[in-house]
């Protein structure tokens, strides 16, 4: 069977062919053409159009074409549902659906930037989605330890590839890597509202509305930021990490963002807080 969609694929238009070839039709032929030619070529070639306006295989409400294919073909697999949430979040720019969505979007944006060959992108994407599916089957519930090797590896990446290149203009992929690391820097605080609602089997809209009643009168996002600042305070008080490192270890995109949220939560910036802690320890020991 032939399947046809718009050229220059990124997320859903690579995820859908992966789903089709791996679970529906291993011999499927995927065709990419300019937007204006999709429907005419579909008729000419006898191909099924997908991820295109006003066709059956398309977006519905807040769900993407990948979701529709799962439903249409009765693919009931918890691992595929986890992949679907990630694809949906990346394709609709709703990273609250799954914490991995931002990374997936960054990866495919980078691949699309580096290649104009749609079939080459599809080949790369098939391998990436194979890996993502394996994670969703076997590794999705694995967490990095709060301290130790996982944090040290992140610090090594930061120090070697980001911090030491301040005097150079960072390429686009370095900034994307920085954002990807930021999104996953603290897996214990990477829960999304959608993830939680799926785990609890509660409607996400209801959970969002009711959350503040039971969590310090804070929204889900504000509560997660509060936990990050509490961890930052613990790291300031009990480790020798630099403030820049602590910002990364607690999930902030950069130190200025960290400084702003820290001051909002505590009334003073992190450097003054650390000085007051050091002074207090010195006074206590003297």
Ordered by start, the domain boundaries in the chain are 2-142, 145-286
Phi, psi for residue 31 in degrees, rounded to 5: -120, 130
Q: At residue 175, what are phi and psi to the nearest 5 degrees?
A: -65, -40
- Give the Cα separation of 193 and 176 in Å (integer): 23
CATH topology of domain 145-286: Arc Repressor Mutant, subunit A (1.10.10)
Q: Which two tokens stand for residue 225?
A: 């930021």
pLDDT of residue 28: 93
CB 133 within 8 A of CB 125: no
Higher pLDDT, 155 or 192: 192
Per-residue pLDDT of 108-124, as tens digits, reads: 888 888 888 999 999 98
Mean pLDDT, residues 212-217 taken together: 77
Say how far residue 151 (Cα) sits from the centre of its chain.
Answer: 19
Cα–Cα distance between 188 and 184 in angstroms, integer?
A: 9
pLDDT at 211 over 50: yes
Neighbour-count burial for 199-233, b at 16+ CB within 10 Å, e otherwise: eeeeebeeebeebeeeeeeeebeebbbeebbebbb
The confidence band for 248, taking pLDDT boundaries of 50, 70 and 90, is confident
pLDDT (mean) for 144-172: 48
Taking the C-alpha atoms of residue 169 and residue 165, their distance in angstroms, rounded to an integer, is 8
Higher per-residue confidence, 173 vs 88 = 88
């Amino acid at each position: 069977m032939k399947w046809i969609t718009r050229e220059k694929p990124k997320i859903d238009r690579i995820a859908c062919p992966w789903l089709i070839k791996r679970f529906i039709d291993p011999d499927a032929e995927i065709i990419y053409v300019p937007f204006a030619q999709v429907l005419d070529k579909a008729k000419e070639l006898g191909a099924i159009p997908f991820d295109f306006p006003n066709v059956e295989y398309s977006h519905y409400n807040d769900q993407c074409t990948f979701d529709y294919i799962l439903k249409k073909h009765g693919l009931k697999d918890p691992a595929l549902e986890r992949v679907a949430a990630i694809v949906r979040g990346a394709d609709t720019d709703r990273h609250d659906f799954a914490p991995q969505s931002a990374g997936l979007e960054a990866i495919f944006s980078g691949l699309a930037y580096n290649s104009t060959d749609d079939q080459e992108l599809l080949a790369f994407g098939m391998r990436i989605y194979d890996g993502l599916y394996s994670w969703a089957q076997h590794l999705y519930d694995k967490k990095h330890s709060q301290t130790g090797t996982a944090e040290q590896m992140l610090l090594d990446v930061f120090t070697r590839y980001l911090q030491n290149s301040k005097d150079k203009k960072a390429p686009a992929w370095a900034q994307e890597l920085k954002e990807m690391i930021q999104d996953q820097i603290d897996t214990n605080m990477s829960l999304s509202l959608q993830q939680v609602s799926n785990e609890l089997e509660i409607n996400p809209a209801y959970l969002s509305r009711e959350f503040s009643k039971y969590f310090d009168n804070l929204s889900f996002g504000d509560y997660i930021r509060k936990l990050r600042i509490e961890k930052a305070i613990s790291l300031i008080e009990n480790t020798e990490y630099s403030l820049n490192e602590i910002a990364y270890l607690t999930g902030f995109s950069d130190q200025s963002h960290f400084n702003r949220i820290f001051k909002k939560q505590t009334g003073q910036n992190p450097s003054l807080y650390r000085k007051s802690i050091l002074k207090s320890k010195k006074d206590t020991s003297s």
